[in-house]
Amino acid sequence: MNLTTSKEHYLKTIYSLSDDNQGVHITEIAEKLEISKASVCTAMKALQEGNYIYRGKKRLVYLTKKGEMQARSLTEKFETIQCFLMRILHIDSEIAAQDACVMEHVVSTETLHAMLSLTNQH
Amino acid sequence: MNLTTSKEHYLKTIYSLSDDNQGVHITEIAEKLEISKASVCTAMKALQEGNYIYRGKKRLVYLTKKGEMQARSLTEKFETIQCFLMRILHIDSEIAAQDACVMEHVVSTETLHAMLSLTNQH
DNA sequence: ACAGGTGGTTAGATAAGACTAACTTCAAAA
DNA sequence: TTTTGAAGTTAGTCTTATCTAACCACCTGT
């Protein structure tokens, strides 16, 4: 299975919701993303196929090592972009978050690195 | 009809292919985007619905005023982003183009303005 | 124990965007 | 004028991502 933008979103959400990977309810994910439980359920099957998550006790959703690495990477990208937008371009945090949230899935590593170093040396 | 990323792409492509809006062949668009004629044909119907294009002599595709404005706006966004990436972040023009090509459809006007002014004052 | 409610799942629909294959249209060359 | 190849169109399929509605499963409180 390939990670699409949508799937990456799910991973990031699971990561952000699970405290120390203690497992997340499908309902929680649905509420956070403001989408139906059914959609989440379907997506979880695909992510399980791809070995990004597994279902544990009480049907909770857990990230696998692979899933966790992906999620962490995405979260880092998000933060890099958001910080860059805020500190270098002086964008409001709300809007910076929105922009970062779409950019994180598409931006090249080159651009990402450049953003990071410019933000740091600032 | 709503302009999606895909539709915006078509508009930009038509704009770039038509010299002074002299009309473009569906085949040209298909070749430029490396996509089937059939897909382009279907998309053109939707764009016509939304009054972004019309079909003229010899079935050529022409931008309407509305379509042209959109296309120009997108092209400007693209250029703003590409220049920013190249001049401020020192990204290679090839990669900058790729990144700009996806970012142009999603980035906020705030970020866009900030990129423009930073590039200019540079 | 069982009735409800919460959480999860399944089935079926819709929409966008792409595809191939087969068809039509048309204009230019013979 | 007829033919033929390029351009365009249509029909039907696939994938992804979403939805609603109906259903199942399990835990909990009475």
pLDDT at residue A21 in the model: 82
Q: Report the residue from A88, A90, A114 with minimal CB separation from B91.
A: A114
Protein chain A, residues 98-117, with a C-beta closer than 7 Å to any atom of nucleic acid strand D: none
Read off the tokens for A16. 């952000």
In this complex, which of A99, A111, A118 lies closest to B99 when CB atoms are compared? A111
Q: Are A44 and A63 in contact (CB under 8 A)?
A: no
Write the pLDDT tens digit of every residue in B63-94.
999 999 999 999 999 999 999 999 999 999 99
pLDDT value, residue B21: 81
Torsion of CA B98, A97, A84, B9, to 10 degrees: 20
Q: What per-residue confidence (pLDDT) applies to A1?
A: 84
Nucleotides in chain D near protein beta carbons (<7 Å): 6-12, 16-22, 27
- Chain A CB contacts of B96 under 8 Å are 111
Distance CA A103, CA B114 (A): 16
Q: Please state whether strand C lies within 7 Å of residue A41 at its CB atom.
A: yes
pLDDT at A20: 82
Residue B27 CB in 7 A reach of strand C: no
What distance in Å separates the CA atoms of residue B92 and residue B61, rounded to the nearest whole number?
A: 34
> Rounded to whole angstroms, how far apart are CA atoms A68 and A20?
10
- Residue closest to C27 C1′ by Cα: B58
Residue pair A8/A73 in contact (Cβ under 8 Å)? The answer is no
- The Cα B24–Cα B9 span in angstroms is 15
Spatial separation of the C-alpha atoms in residues B60 and B26, rounded to whole Å: 7
Per-residue pLDDT of chain A (122 residues; tens, 9 = 90+): 889 999 999 999 999 998 888 899 999 999 999 999 999 999 999 999 999 999 998 899 999 999 999 999 999 999 999 999 999 999 999 999 999 999 999 999 999 999 999 999 97
- Residue whose C-alpha is closest to residue A15's, from A51, A65, A84, A50: A65
Rounded distance between C-alpha atoms, residue A101 and residue A95, angstroms = 10
Residue B19, pLDDT > 90, answer no
Residue of A nearest to B86 (CA): A111
